């Protein structure tokens, strides 16, 4: 992956796409719930006692209990809008700006070295065309330019890997902070699940009354301000 072809937007999406790992977990939860309910329906169709027989079976009791849990809202779920969280979390914005600044610095340094190399190549070609350089010196210069070209390729790889490592460290820090806040927040609220919601993701609809994004952002930024 060439550093010049790494747009700034691609670097950010990789920030929102880690904590987006929670969205994948959330997808699994939703799929498991759907499969579980489907198995209940299948069980009812195949094993429900015929009409006239005792209907007070353990299966019916379990279904009644499950229905009561759903109706009572005892199954507590909340969600966090991942895009909003990453856009308004001050530490995320700060780290993203630092990463973008570092990317620009490395890109500019590499571009400057590449431009210098290209100028030397063109100068060498002119010298050959004008007969201004001996065959022996030409071979030496050619080897020198080939070595510089290889060094530029290695430098490009080094800069790219450096940015990737820094982005990974940034995502780990953000994920750790967000997870810690959610765990402490849930000690007060006792949710069964806190899902990550992203438009176009696995969760197609979420009731806004379960949205706790503002509370989480507020706590994250408050702790970030306290450390500054």
Concatenating the DSSP letter of every residue in 160-183 gives HHHHHHHHHHHHHHHHHHHHHHHH
Helical residues (DSSP H) of 89-134, grouped into ranges: 90-129
Q: What gap in Å lies between CA 170 and CA 96, rounded to an integer?
A: 8
Instruction: Judge whether residue 154 has pLDDT over 90.
Output: yes
Angle in degrees, 0-180, between the axes of helices 58-72 and 21-47, rounded to the nearest 10:
140
Of 116-125, 128-137, 162-171, the poorest mean pLDDT is in 128-137
Which single residue is written with the structure tokens 């670097």?
Answer: 11
What percent of the chain has pLDDT above 70?
68
Model-wide pTM > 0.95: no
- Residue 65: per-residue pLDDT: 60
What average pLDDT is seen over the chain?
79
Q: What gap in Å lies between CA 47 and CA 57, rounded to an integer?
A: 10
Measuring CA to CA, how many Å separate 41 from each of 31, 35, 67, 98? 15, 10, 13, 53
- Residue 61: per-residue pLDDT: 66
Nearest Cα neighbor of 66 from 38, 28, 47, 40 is: 40
Calculate mean pLDDT across residues 173-179: 96
pLDDT bracket for residue 200 (50, 70, 90)? confident
Instruction: Judge whether residue 62 has pLDDT over 90.
Output: no
pLDDT bracket for residue 203 (50, 70, 90)? confident
* DSSP assignment letter at 140: H
Of 1-5, 86-90, 126-130, 154-158, the poorest mean pLDDT is in 1-5
Specify the higher pLDDT residue, 27 or 94.
94
Q: What is the dihedral of CA 163, 164, 170, 175, to 10 degrees?
A: 170
Calculate mean pLDDT across residues 87-94: 96
- Residue 204: per-residue pLDDT: 87
Calculate mean pLDDT across residues 18-47: 39
pLDDT bracket for residue 149 (50, 70, 90)? very high
Helix (H, G, I), strand (E, B) or coil at 200: coil
> Are 16 and 113 a contacting pair, CB within 8 Å?
no
Of 4-13, 101-110, 199-208, the poorest mean pLDDT is in 4-13
Instruction: Judge whether residue 73 has pLDDT over 80.
Output: no
Instruction: Judge whether residue 56 has pLDDT over 60.
Output: no
Count of beta carbons in the 10 Å neighbourhood of residue 186:
16
Instruction: Judge whether residue 97 has pLDDT over 70.
Output: yes
> Are 216 and 185 a contacting pair, CB within 8 Å?
yes
């Amino acid at each position: 992956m060439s550093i010049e072809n790494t747009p700034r937007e691609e670097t950010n999406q990789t920030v929102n796409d880690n904590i987006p790992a929670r969205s994948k977990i959330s997808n699994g939860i939703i799929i498991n719930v759907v499969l579980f309910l489907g198995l209940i329906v299948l069980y009812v169709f195949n094993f429900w006692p015929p009409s006239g027989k005792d209907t007070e079976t353990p299966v019916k009791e379990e279904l009644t209990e499950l229905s009561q849990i759903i109706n009572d809202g005892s199954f507590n779920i909340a969600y966090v809008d991942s895009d909003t969280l990453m856009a308004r979390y001050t530490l995320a914005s700060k780290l993203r700006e630092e990463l973008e600044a570092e990317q620009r610095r490395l890109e500019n340094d590499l571009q400057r070295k590449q431009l210098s190399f290209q100028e030397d190549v063109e100068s060498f070609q002119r010298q050959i065309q004008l007969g201004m350089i001996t065959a022996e010196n030409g071979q030496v210069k050619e080897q020198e330019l080939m070595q510089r070209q290889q060094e530029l390729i290695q430098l490009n790889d080094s800069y790219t890997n450096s940015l990737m490592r820094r982005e990974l460290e940034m995502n780990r820090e953000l994920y750790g902070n967000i997870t810690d806040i959610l765990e402490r927040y849930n000690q007060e609220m006792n949710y069964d699940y806190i899902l990550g919601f992203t438009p176009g993701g696995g969760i197609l609809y979420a009731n806004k009354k379960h949205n706790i994004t503002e509370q989480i952002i507020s706590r994250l930024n408050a702790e970030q301000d306290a450390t500054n």
